[in-house]
Chain A
Amino acid sequence: MTTILRKPASLRVPAGVIALIVVLALGPRVLSTAALLNVQDAVGLALFACATNLLIGYGGLVSFGQGAFYGIGAYTVALAWMHLNASFWVTLVVAPVVGGVAALAVGLLALRTRQLYFALLTLAVSQLLYVIVQQQESFTGGADGVFGPMLPGFLLNPGNAYWFTLAVAAIGLLVLWQITRSPFGMTLRAIRENRERAEALGVNVFLHQLLAFTFSGFFCALAGVLYVVWGQSANPNLFSWTESGYPIFMAVLGGQYMFLGPALGALIYEQARDVLLASFSDSQLVFGAVLLVIILAAPDGVAGLLNRGRRLLARRWPGLAPATSRAAAAARASGGQDTKPDGRPETAVR
């Protein structure tokens, strides 16, 4: 074989992402407290949405019950404080583990089914928790939820709470990103694309999906902890089906086939919601219409639209094109099927 050199994938984070984090980190210096809380909420939801998208976008597993793990994360912090007077810093670490273990248990059951049945089973589990949390008043605080000084003094300062949320979400997203581009993430995508074929190649499909479900539960619970940092409370609505619907909406809005698509969806959703709530009496109706338009006109979401725009610009300035589409275009241009051993395009070197 002649030499085909390819730079191995490294942990290099794209410059645009670093720039975004820097801009977001400036928040407390430039934003009002209300606006700051709004962005903080969006950052936490971005983690929730990307953790959910590990299942939807990468695994092809549409779960309508990720609110269960979001709620478990928040309630682990709140109940440990209420009953055990546990420190927030301890529960910050424990809550995602509880979420992961819960997801493992739910996954063992739900992943025995496929598609719609899987979606309905996950929905049923989250609704079950919703009812239990509401009814066990003496233990969970019932429909009112749990309120109180459960956060350490450090996080009562709005700027600190914001930076803390940004840092935890950034670390969580970095780990999730790493998972998606690892051999495991690649295999997960192969299962999404063609489950039967993956299995015929020797992949244990069930265990891969179970692991993905567990990871997702872990990071959804971590996002639930960030909810407590934002709301200083926990309430049963975190378990509800509407809460489970938000990350799916954000993933579809932002784009489920790009890693940060759902995070983009979360930022857009948070900003748009306030505008819509102020201008329309029935904002849900508007969201429904927006969702419909996106699914029909831009199935890859806003991130997909941005990429399409980039490709259009790349016709003028080729340097802007994403590397994969360059290679694909080259493969098509050179005829595709008749491979000449010496005619390897330079795009093979990346």
Chain B
Amino acid sequence: MSTQPLLEVRGLTKAFGGFTAVGGVDLAVRPGTIHSVIGPNGAGKTTLFRLLTGVHRPTSGSIRFGGRELSGARPYVVSRRGLTQSFQITNVFPKMTVLESVQVAILARHHRSWDFVSARQDKVTVEAMEMLDEVGLAQAMDAQAQTLSHGDQRVLEVTLALATRPRLLLLDEPTAGMSPAETGRMVDLVTGLARARGLTVVLSEHDMDIVFCVSDEVTVLHRGRVICHGSPAEVQADPQVAEVYLGGGE
């Protein structure tokens, strides 16, 4: 493959005391692809994501993003460099309106969170409303985030991440706890946005139908290590994966 990976992880390890949650993980994510990271519970997906976003510091290994070393950077720095996470649990600003929430994300991107003088934010407001239009939340923009349905809160959650205009979006279980209809809407939203914007997505997801349907590449984690990597078809055909994960009584 000739294209330089946007995200390149080498020998990434995180140990908590004697327990190695992530052990020597290699990962290469090419730009413009949807790359899924799957694995049974406790495989180390969440820890891997926290390492990527700067919440945890790696014990060893490197994270290169867009050609620059990223390991050890604080979360807000990681976000500013263009790697933004959408969270597994619903993680919004409960008492702020939908519009305000998106404005906060856009302001941070424009480095205007410091502006304590002006009250007029026409450009930011218009941009926020355009985004809400795009994801189908425009009519709820004056509602408090906590009053939205679960599905809408998840959409808002992803919209917040998108408002930072990331180069790479980390989606941690975007359809967790959603109804089938809401899940379909979320999948359409994510794949549509990724294609339209040339966004690179790293996805963690329980629903294997979704994973094999939308992914360009799949990496399988088990007990903190990569046991298989390849196209959805290759991963589905791998006997080891079937043993520990797909067939192995979960």
Contact = CB atoms under 8 A, between A and B. Distances in A.
B148 interface: yes
Contacts of A201: 76, 79, 84, 104-105, 108, 160-161, 163-164
Contact of B121 (A183, A198, A215): A183
Contacts of B118: 182-183
B140 interface: yes
B121 A332 contact: no
Contact of A331 (B95, B112, B122, B142): B142
A189 B136 CA distance: 25
A324 B142 contact: yes
A166 B76 CA distance: 42
Given A186-B104, A190-B93, A336 B152 contact: yes
Given A198-B104, A202-B76, A178 B117 contact: yes
A11 B122 CA distance: 14
A196 interface: yes
B104 A194 contact: no
Contact of A11 (B80, B94, B119): B119
Interface string B106-141: 011100111111111110110001100100111111
B138 A190 contact: no
Kindly state the interface size class of chain A when it binds its partner. Answer: 35 or more
B103 interface: yes
Contacts of B119: 8-11, 178, 181-182
A247 B101 CA distance: 29
B107 A187 contact: yes
A47 B109 CA distance: 33
Nearest to B95: A193
Interface in A188-236: 189-190, 193-194, 196-205, 208, 211, 215
Interface of B: 53, 74-76, 79-80, 84-85, 87, 91-97, 100-101, 103-105, 107-109, 112-122, 124-125, 129-130, 133, 136-144, 147-149, 151-152, 160-161, 163-164
Interface of A: 1-2, 4, 6, 8-11, 178-179, 181-187, 189-190, 193-194, 196-205, 208, 211, 215, 257, 323-324, 327-328, 331-332, 334, 336-337, 339-341, 343-345, 347-348, 350
19 contacts: A1-B130, A2-B133, A6-B129, A183-B112, A184-B116, A186-B100, A186-B104, A189-B95, A190-B93, A194-B93, A197-B91, A197-B93, A200-B79, A201-B76, A202-B79, A328-B147, A334-B139, A336-B147, A336-B152
Closest 9 CB pairs of A and B: A327-B142, A184-B116, A202-B79, A193-B93, A187-B113, A331-B143, A202-B108, A337-B149, A190-B104
